[in-house]
Amino acid sequence: MMDLDSAVLYSHDIEKVIPFYRDILGFNIEYQGSNGFVSFIFPNGARLGIKNQRREREVPGHQTVFISTEDIEAKYQELKGKEVTFFTELTDYPWGKEFSVLDADDNRVLFIKRP
Quote the pTM value.
Answer: 0.91
SS (H, E, C) 4-47: CCEEEEEECCHHHHHHHHHHHCCCEEEEEECCCEEEEECCCCCE
Domains and CATH numbers, the chain: 6-53+62-113 (3.10.180.10)
pLDDT at 2: 65
Digitized pLDDT (tens) for each residue of the chain, 115 residues in all: 767 889 999 999 999 999 999 999 999 999 999 889 999 999 999 999 999 999 999 999 999 999 999 999 999 999 999 999 999 999 999 999 999 999 999 999 999 999 9
